[in-house]
């Protein structure tokens, strides 16, 4: 394969930084441009090891601003992988404005730049949440499941997916949508369930469980997701959607108990709190298409993944303590200036 430049957006966030590291470590043929706005969720420390590497360029900017996207694409870009998003459901319930700006307008701006530049692939990182709620224990999301988002976050992600579809159909942009289930692993911002549970348990603080704790999510380790994305980038068919999932359904209570057991902490830390409004009961992915067409399989089972993830948060206390104290914001302000 020839040398190529991949524009990764949102590369300072959780999945984006794991994906950039995956490419940098495994793909010497690839150069990465990382366009990231550095919101509260973006932390350049996540990729500090690559600063100064000639194969890596960081551009601070907003995907919804055409001038910022143009700056990132100076020098040429062959492929785009769009992770940049406001990603937390609870924040979208408090205020959805930025979700529309980044997730919807940002995707439109990137699609337009991609079309004009004639990129050879555009991968849109979507979510299974666009399918809505499976409700009871039966059924799985397939690529044919109708979109029925229930939170402002998932509605904005569904809108983005539909724009991607329209750019394939209308302009022939070689675009692909992936829809993944809940990720966990290193560098996940501790507002999301698993890192919140792990870091609170390590500090002997209560573990907040929404409602009855019986909502089900289908967990996948971020490394498995990154391998799937590399496969989609290489061999995915333009115009297609691929569901990605770890086939690892757990209730939130099961997840919390697994974390407590791994950290040898008491179940008395479980704390039931009022439910999230509109809280989807169950998500579960049917990953048959990506397995069959692209030969991808998850490698990490949930027990191994939780063990490794807990170890990472134990060994990287400084990383999450600074986030939880808000101190890390100073790091990037010093590093990259205000604004
Ligand atoms: P994250 O919140 O950890 O990271 C988001 C990144 O995007 C941050 O670095 C942030 O600074 C950046 N960003 C936000 N707004 C931006 C803008 N306007 N311009 C440029 N950069 C901006 O999110 P994540 O969990 O890593 O999720 C990444 C993507 O994967 C998102 O599109 C999300 O919808 C999708 N996804 C996440 C999960 C999951 O379980 N975390 C599951 C399926 C899909
Ligand atoms: P989250 O990590 O926010 O992912 P998503 O809502 O996008 O699936 O939440 C995962 C599940 O955990 C979801 O059912 C909500 C629940 N949850 C809690 O019970 N307590 C919490 O403090 C958080 C953040 C989530």
Which CATH number does the domain housing residue 55 bear? 3.40.50.720
Nearest to 177 by CA among 193, 158, 203: 158
**Residue ID of nearest Cα to ligand 1 atom 1:** 13
Give the count of beta carbons closer than 10 Å to the beta carbon of residue 177: 26
Six-digit token string for 190: 């501790």
Distance CA 216, CA 214 (A): 6
Estimate to the nearest angstrom the gap between the alpha carbon of 333 and the chain centroid. Answer: 24
Helix axes 302-315, 317-325, angle to 10 degrees: 70
Q: Is the CB–ligand 1 distance for residue 290 below 6 Å? A: no
Q: What does DSSP say about strands 216-218 and 249-251: parallel, antiparallel, or unpaired?
A: antiparallel
Residue 1 pLDDT greater than 70, yes or no: no
Would 168 be classed as within a structural domain?
Answer: yes
Distance CA 296, CA 290 (A): 6
Would 58 be classed as within a structural domain?
Answer: yes
Q: Is the CB–ligand 1 distance for residue 100 below 6 Å? A: no
Which pTM value belongs to this model? Answer: 0.97
Would 273 be classed as within a structural domain?
Answer: no
Six-digit token string for 57: 């360029």
Residue with tokens 């980044």: 102
Q: Is the CB–ligand 2 distance for residue 215 below 6 Å? A: yes
Q: Which atom of ligand 1 is nearest to the CA of 43?
A: 9
Q: Which atom of ligand 1 is nearest to the CA of 39?
A: 11
Q: Which atom of ligand 2 is nearest to the CA of 87?
A: 7
Would 289 be classed as within a structural domain?
Answer: yes
Would 141 be classed as within a structural domain?
Answer: yes
pLDDT of residue 171: 98
Whole-number Å distance, alpha carbon 86 to ligand 1 midpoint, is: 6
Whole-number Å distance, alpha carbon 194 to ligand 2 midpoint, is: 8
pLDDT of residue 337: 64
The total of structural domains in the chain comes to: 1
What value does the mean pLDDT of the chain take? 96
Which positions are annotated as active-site residues?
A: 128-129, 153
Query: For the purposes of burial, counting CB atoms within 10 Å of the CB of 40, is it exposed (0-12), middle (13-18) or buried (19 or more)?
Result: middle
pLDDT of residue 214: 98
pLDDT band at residue 326, thresholds of 50, 70 and 90?
confident
Would 60 be classed as within a structural domain?
Answer: yes
**Residue ID of nearest Cα to ligand 1 atom 10:** 42
**Residue ID of nearest Cα to ligand 1 atom 14:** 85
Quick one: which ligand is closest to 332's CA?
1
**Residue ID of nearest Cα to ligand 1 atom 41:** 183
Q: Give tens-digit pLDDT for 160-182.
A: 999 999 999 999 999 999 999 99
The half-sphere exposure of 277 on its side-chain side, counting CA atoms within 13 A, is 8
Whole-number Å distance, alpha carbon 250 to ligand 2 midpoint, is: 12
Whole-number Å distance, alpha carbon 75 to ligand 1 midpoint, is: 25
Would 268 be classed as within a structural domain?
Answer: no
Q: Give tens-digit pLDDT for 195-242.
A: 999 999 999 999 999 999 999 999 999 999 999 999 999 999 999 999
**Residue ID of nearest Cα to ligand 1 atom 25:** 14
Q: Is the CB–ligand 1 distance for residue 58 below 6 Å? A: no
pLDDT of residue 336: 57
Six-digit token string for 97: 């404005």
Quick one: which ligand is closest to 106's CA?
1
Q: Is the CB–ligand 1 distance for residue 41 below 6 Å? A: yes
| Domain of 123, in residue numbers | 4-188+220-248+283-300+326-336
Element (H, E) at 116: helix 106-117
Would 82 be classed as within a structural domain?
Answer: yes
């Amino acid at each position: 394969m020839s040398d190529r430049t991949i524009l990764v957006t949102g590369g300072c966030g959780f999945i984006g930084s794991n994906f950039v590291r995956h490419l940098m470590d495994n793909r010497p043929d690839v150069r990465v441009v990382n366009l990231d706005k550095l919101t509260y969720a973006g932390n350049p420390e996540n990729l500090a090891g690559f600063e100064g590497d000639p194969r890596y360029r960081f551009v601070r900017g907003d995907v919804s601003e055409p001038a910022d996207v143009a700056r990132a694409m100076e020098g040429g870009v062959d492929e785009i992988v769009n992770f940049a998003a406001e990603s937390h459901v609870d924040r979208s319930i408090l205020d959805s404005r930025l979700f529309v700006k980044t997730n919807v307008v940002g995707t439109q701006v990137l699609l337009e730049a991609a079309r004009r530049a004639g990129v050879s692939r555009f991968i849109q990182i979507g979510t299974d949440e666009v399918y809505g709620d499976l409700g009871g224990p039966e059924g799985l999301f397939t690529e044919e499941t109708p979109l029925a988002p229930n939170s402002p976050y998932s509605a904005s992600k569904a809108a983005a997916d539909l724009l991607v579809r329209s750019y394939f159909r209308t302009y022939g942009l070689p675009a692909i949508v992936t829809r993944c289930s809940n990720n966990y692993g290193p560098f996940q911002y501790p507002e999301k369930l698993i890192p919140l549970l792990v870091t609170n348990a390590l500090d002997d603080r209560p573990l907040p469980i929404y409602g009855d704790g019986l909502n089900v999510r289908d967990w996948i380790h971020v490394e498995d997701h990154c391998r799937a994305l590399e496969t989609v980038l290489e061999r995915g068919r333009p115009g297609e959607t691929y569901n990605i999932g770890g086939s690892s359904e757990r209730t939130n209570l099961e997840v919390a108990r697994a974390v407590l057991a791994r950290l040898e902490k008491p179940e008395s830390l479980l704390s039931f709190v009022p439910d999230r409004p509109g809280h989807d009961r169950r998500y579960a992915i049917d990953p048959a298409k990506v397995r069959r067409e692209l030969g991808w399989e998850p490698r990490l089972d949930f027990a191994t993944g939780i063990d490794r993830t807990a170890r990472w948060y134990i060994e990287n206390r400084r990383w999450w303590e600074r986030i939880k104290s808000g101190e890390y914001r100073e790091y990037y302000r010093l590093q990259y200036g205000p604004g």
